[in-house]
Structure 1
Amino acid sequence: MAPRSPSPPPNPGVASASADATPDHDSPPSADASTDDGRPPETTRRALLAAAGAVDVAALAGCVDFRRSTFGNEQVLPESEESAVGSGNRPGSWPMLQRDPGYAGAAPSARGPTGNAAVAWTFETDEDPYRGFLPLAVADGTLFAQSRHTLWAVDVADGAERWRFAPPSLGGSGGQFLRSAPAVGDGTVFVVGDVSLYAVDAGTGRAKWKYRTTSSFDDVLLAGNTAFFVCRSGADQSLVALDAETGLTRWRRPADGSAYPLAYGDGSVFGATWRGPDDAADGETGLWEVYAVDARTGEKRWSRRVTARAETWFPTMAVAGGRIYVGTGPLYALDAKDGTVRWSALDDADLTSASPVTDGETVYVDADEPTRIVALDAADGRRRWGERVSAGYALGHPSLVGDVLYVPLASHDAGPGGVVGFDTTTGAERFRFVPPWSRAHGTSPPVVVDGTLYLGVGRTVYALEGDR
């Protein structure tokens, strides 16, 4: 099948939006909100109407606190691992990295391509990604790709650009670094640009609101109609929960160190804090403290310290079936209710970039050295199969779709990059795609929607089809 070419980029019919395209409103007062020059903000009727939802678009600067019953929306959280994230996680979507807020990375009832891979279309961004790979999301017929300074919206039918969003640099030149992977819910795309969280209209590419902090941060966790992240406001590091529609604060709690929010499940937000030792050398061990907080209040429910290799950048998690699977060096399975260690495995493997994915019955994880994919029983950690990756090396964040595990590969001396699919029962290879060039590049976690696999390789998005 010949690739279909996308429509030419920006023209008068393509919206090119930036943060400044949205009119700013004065921020309602709060304990730590301030204007850009440090003066306390004034309360205006326009700001109060915007906060109450009477104005469709609001750019909110600073840390804003209002009583939820007066100005915000009632918090709605997923009741199960299969619950929707707004309107984005219904069938025919992959609205965030690892697909769901539990970061399980699985779509058990879906089907992806196997057999002969064919490129349906490609889309070229004009810059390298910030994260080392081009993160993707799909919702409501639109693919969202995020390069270093720009969020792109692309029609999944033909790869035509719909709009782009590029907030200007705070210093006045260039653009902001888009630091998080896009997350989509209820018609809004959430991205982190330098020190701000932006809510961007998924249909138009125009900013609805922004939440500005005083330091950069990398990730946002979207669960139901709440966005969770760790940021600095003034001198304090905080774990924050925002109303996803308005940008108003639901709650804010002091964050103990770099307390990354990594996954959501059963009413809790799970994260981890490094406990050192700070001077540990590569290959030595330290500790990560895994924690759970109540998603409605921010109150800590439990914490558990687990062994980690010092070179682990930060642990990755997947939540399913009442367990949290944490890759810190060994792979741990913790009880989601109280943090009890149910089992640990792969103590002899190098799991510094391990990204577990699971359907609740089997846990799949990549190990760096030697490069291999391992399938473990989710109940007790027993090994079911292991498969060496014969070309390229596993980058992390595989995707489980039906009975195929799709693993992204990056180019390396061992071979070119791309994606390879393994049979979940036997480990046999069922799908492989290698792009037509092989210089060093990063590869995104695969996204599979309606039988098509979308992959970011370097600056390029590929839409891949094949047998099913």
Structure 2
Amino acid sequence: MTLKTLSLTAIRFSAVIFFLCTTGCKKDDNTEQPEVKLTDFTLLHPDGTSFESDEIAVEIKEDSINVLVPHFTDLTALKYKAEDKVLKHSEDEILDFSKPIVFTIQSEGPATKKYIITVKHDKLKNMVYFGGHDKTFYALYNRNGKKIWDFKAEGDFSYSGPAFSKGVLYAGNTDGYLYALDAETGALKWKYKTGGIITSSPTVADGIVYVGSYDRKLYAIDAETGVPKWTFTTGYLIDSDPVVVNNMVYFASDDGYLYALTKKGQPKWQYNTGSLIVSSSPLVVEDVIYIGSRTGYLYAINTADGAEKWRIKSDNGTMEHAMPVIYNGIIYFSSGYDLNYGPPNNHPGSLYAINASDGSLVWKKLDALGFTSGPSISNGNLYINADDGKIYCVNTSTGNIVWSKAIYANGVVPTVVDEVVYPGGGGGRYFNAFNALTGTLKWAFPIENSLTTSRPYVIGKNGY
């Protein structure tokens, strides 16, 4: 073999070694590529704005992403934001997430990974419901007052405050119907016609809706079907809201009686206050019922037999509209006007705090304002709409005013949820939402054709 032949052989051998080395090196480079793993992903509104942090929930798994958005969100028109590059889909593109979408994610380098994105509506929350004098029932998003849906009827929804159970709202109307509406969509599930107008607010317990009517009857209606189970007839019309406690139904009538029925509609006892009980509704605490009457008294009645435990008389004003509440062993209520005198000398009533045990006075405040509304309590403060057109926030311990606003709520009982108070305000042509601690207006929803609204029902940020 010549020297030239040996040299060519060596060159060929070296080329083979180089090829094998480079092939092996490339394989090693692939194994060292960083893992593709998405750690940040969220959805946006079509205009590119973000959901509130507690409105949206994102769960990133090994090869899938599950997202919960507010229940009324249009799933067919959403944008996204991700920390890694998404092949095929642009962040500026509006996408349809009503069905799962496959995203291919690419981090640094050529490696990719597929994720299945599934978007669903969260449970019902952050909603406020109320009825208006304008023959409309409203559903608003309580973060900003945006209307989600409304429902039209022939009569007035502003007297009967809605009740809620298992995704259904129940509201009475002056057209005599009790309506059952789907809470998510506002669709009518059923309606039941009573023999008179309904201003009583319904109560739902164990699949039965209880509501009073101006035809003098209390109705027990199947919550699912709208079929009546039984009725009970009183001596006069019923404004008062029924209360169900320990398998007993307690309610009052304008005939002056407080009634106790079994859940099958059988009377157990009745107590005569001696005068009209209009919108005053029973407050049941352990074995005592508290209720007011036009006599000017607030009564404490034994639940077992209807015997009177004690009574306290307001300094001025009827108690037929008193809607007492309890907090830390203290009963809070308001009085209306002394009907023995005509205006302007009819002695407007006050706000009271009394001991639940014996009726002894703790304090009396907001004198001579007059009230056809009842109080609500949250975080140590009491909220009440007075007939001077203002909502008052007062300290429960002292009765001192924390803040007040003129809103002309016209007798609405405020609702307080998640440190926001919803006091109505139809007289000012708006439904309002205030910061409960400071009185700062959060938003106002226009209701140009409604002078009054019903007591709001609110589903808070946790779905309760």
What interval of TM-score do these two structures reach, taking the shorter chain for normalisation? Answer: 0.5 to 0.7
Q: 1:140 aligns with which of 166, 171, 175?
A: 166
Alignment of 1:312-351 (within 5 A): 314-328=321-335, 329-348=349-368, 350-351=369-370
Q: How does 1:45-444 map to 2 (within 5 A)?
A: 115-129=143-157, 132-148=158-174, 149-167=176-194, 169=195, 176-193=196-213, 194-224=215-245, 225-231=247-253, 238-244=257-263, 246-258=264-276, 261-275=281-295, 288-309=296-317, 314-328=321-335, 329-348=349-368, 350-359=369-378, 361-369=380-388, 371-389=389-407, 393-411=409-427, 415-417=428-430, 419-435=431-447, 438-444=448-454
Q: Post-superposition shift, 1:218?
A: 2.1
Alignment partners' CA distance in 2, 1:333 and 1:304: 11
Deviation at 1:313, TM superposition (A): 5.8
Distance 2:148 2:462 in 1: 9
The change in CA–CA distance for 1:361 and 1:158 in structure 2 (over 3 A counts) is same
For 1:206 and 1:357, the matched residues in 2 are separated by 33
Deviations 1:90-116 (A, max 9, x none): x9899x99xxxxxxxxxxxxxx95553
Query: Given that residues 325 and 333 in structure 1 are in contact (C-alpha distance below 8 angstroms), is that contact kept between their aligned partners in structure 2?
Result: yes
Give the direction of change, closer, same or farther, for the CA distance of 1:433–1:452 in structure 2 (3 Å limit). Answer: farther
Q: RMSD across aligned C-alpha pairs, in angstroms?
A: 3.2
* Contact 1:230–1:255 (Cα < 8 Å) also in 2: no
Q: For residue 426 of structure 1, give the secondary structure of its aligned residue in structure 2.
A: coil
Q: C-alpha offsets along residues 120-141 of structure 1, whole Å, 9 cap, x if unaligned?
A: 1111122234xx5353111110
Contact 1:421–1:431 at 8 Å: present in 2 too? yes
Secondary structure of 2:315 counterpart: strand
The letter for the 2-side match of 1:448 is V
Letter in 1 for 2:370: L
Take 2:274 and 2:235, find their aligned partners in 1: how far apart are those partners?
A: 17
Tell whether the 8 Å contact from 2:351 to 2:365 is kept in structure 1 after alignment. Answer: yes
Residue 119 of structure 1 aligns with an amino acid whose one-letter code is K
State, as a whole percentage, how many aligned pairs show the same letter: 25
Letter of the structure 2 residue corresponding to residue 381 of structure 1: G
1:275-301, CA deviations, whole angstroms, 9 ceiling, x for partnerless residues? 3xxxxxxxxxxxx11110111221111
Q: Is the 8 A contact 2:326 2:332 kept in 1?
A: yes
Q: Distance in 1 between matches of 2:302 and 2:272?
A: 14
Amino acid at match of 1:317: P
In structure 2, runs of 5+ residues without a counterpart are 1-44, 47-70, 73-123, 131-139, 336-348
Partner of 2:14: none
Please give the per-residue CA displacement for 1:19-59, whole angstroms capped at 9, x wherever unaligned: xxxxxxxxxxxxxxxxxxxxxxxxxxxxxxxxxxxxxxxxx
Per the normalisation by structure 2, the TM-score is: 0.62
Q: Is the 8 A contact 1:134 1:443 kept in 2?
A: no
Give yes or no for contact 2:412–2:453 (8 Å, CA) kept in 1.
no
Partners of 1:116 and 1:220 in 2: how far apart? 30
Change (3 A) 1:178 1:116: closer
CA deviations on 1:75-103 (whole Å, 9 max, x unpaired) are: xxxxxxxxxxxxxxxx9899x99xxxxxx
Q: 2:456 aligns with which of 425, 435, 446?
A: 446
CA distance in 1, matches of 2:180, 2:257: 31
CA distance in 1, matches of 2:422, 2:440: 12
Q: In structure 1, give the amino acid aligned to 2:298.
A: V
In the TM superposition, residue 217 of structure 1 has moved relative to its aligned partner by: 2.6
Distance 1:144 1:451, change over 3 A: farther
Q: Deviations over 1:174-196 (max 9, x none)?
A: xx323411111111111123121
Structure 1: segments with no counterpart, 5+ residues: 5-90, 98-111, 170-175, 276-287, 454-468
Answer yes or no: is the 8 Å Cα contact 1:320–1:359 preserved in 2. no
For these two proteins, the number of residue pairs brought into alignment is 316
| Structure 1 residue 318: Cα displacement | 1.8
